[in-house]
Structure 1
Amino acid sequence: MPAIADSGAAQVMEITEAAWVRATPPNRDITAGYLTIRNTGSETRHIVAAASPVAGRVELHTHIHDRESGMMQMREVESIELPAGETVQLAPGGLHLMIMNLKQDLQPGASVSLTLEFDDGSHLELEAEVHRQAPGGHQGHGHGHHHH
């Protein structure tokens, strides 16, 4: 194992399912990004910000079930908690990245750079592929399918 000189959080954060971004129809400048991230460290971390060169801004969002109306509401959150030793999924219908003010159409087959910023000041850069819908046709959560 090569030694890592930078002792930031990047190496304790493991992307367990590749990030992807939903393809945009023409003239739409907002989309959502998803990924699954595992905190392999011993301390709880938080994603506090995200950025992408193709977007004016990226916000952290979640879906909340509004008891009053029975509707799903999208709500911006200050941070996304990554408990030590746990895997957190950003997926349709739950936590996700809201990618806003897009500077280009995102078509399937393209890829987008994303940078996640954590509460300890470290960053993690990743590439997200553009898809119309969740890649791999995950109908449920494929238990037992672990590609290493």
Structure 2
Amino acid sequence: MRRAVFLGLWGLAGAAALGGCSSRPELSSEEGWVRLAAVPGRPAAAYFIVHGGAKPVDLIGVSSDVAITSEMHEGGMAMKKVDAVPIPAGGTVAFQPGGRHVMLYDMNPGVKPGRILSLLLTFSDGTRLRQGARVIAAGDPAPQNG
């Protein structure tokens, strides 16, 4: 009898542990913001965080309905354009000043600080995510999220 109870409890504990393992991470994004250019006619820069899902995927594009074109870049002063950014399964990739970012070219001149823009993130598996992004002026400090 004891053995049956022990095995029964062990089975429940194992099922609970496996249940915890089955919660897969979900591809998501957060903390979007856009810094306007200091000089009119220059591109704005967009930043956000991407959390990887159950499988690795590449971020292959970011666009906004208030910019004519956009490009993903890496680096600060010596930045280079990139066509894809790998997002590891369960990992986190930050787009932040001095590192990865999105340049938004030919922004609508009506976009002012305080507005919330919509960014569309497109992934290699066909997934698309909309991310809100708060607009700040060129000289303003980066938003503190948390």
TM-score range, shorter chain: 0.7 to 0.9
Q: In structure 1, what is the equivalent of residue 45 of structure 2?
A: 32
Q: Does 1:55 align with 2:67?
A: yes
**Partner of residue 135 from structure 1, selected from 119, 127, 143:** 143
Do the aligned residues in 1 keep the contact of 2:27 with 2:54 (CA within 8 Å)? no
- Mark the runs of 5 or more structure 2 residues left unpaired by the alignment: 1-24
Q: 1:83 to 1:134 in 2, by over 3 A?
A: same
Do the aligned residues in 1 keep the contact of 2:43 with 2:103 (CA within 8 Å)? yes
What TM-score results when the alignment is normalised by the length of structure 2? 0.73
Whole-Å separation in 2 of the counterparts to 1:25 and 1:93: 16
Give the drift of 1:82: 0.5
Q: Which runs of 4+ in 1 moved over 4 A?
A: none
SS of corresponding position for 1:92 = coil
Give the drift of 1:105: 4.5
Q: Does 1:106 align with 2:111?
A: yes
Whole-Å separation in 2 of the counterparts to 1:101 and 1:90: 20
Identity between Structure 1 and Structure 2 (%): 31
RMSD: 2.0
Whole-Å separation in 2 of the counterparts to 1:94 and 1:105: 27
Q: In structure 1, what is the equivalent of residue 78 of structure 2?
A: 73
Whole-Å separation in 2 of the counterparts to 1:63 and 1:26: 20
- Mark the runs of 5 or more structure 1 residues left unpaired by the alignment: 1-10, 65-71, 139-146
The structure whose residues are more often helix, as a share, is: 2
Q: In structure 2, what is the equivalent of residue 14 of structure 1?
A: 28
Q: For residue 141 of structure 2, what is the amino acid of its counterpart? A: Q
Matched positions, count = 119
SS of corresponding position for 1:27 = coil
What TM-score results when the alignment is normalised by the length of structure 1? 0.72
Whole-Å separation in 1 of the counterparts to 2:35 and 2:82: 20
Give the drift of 1:32: 0.4
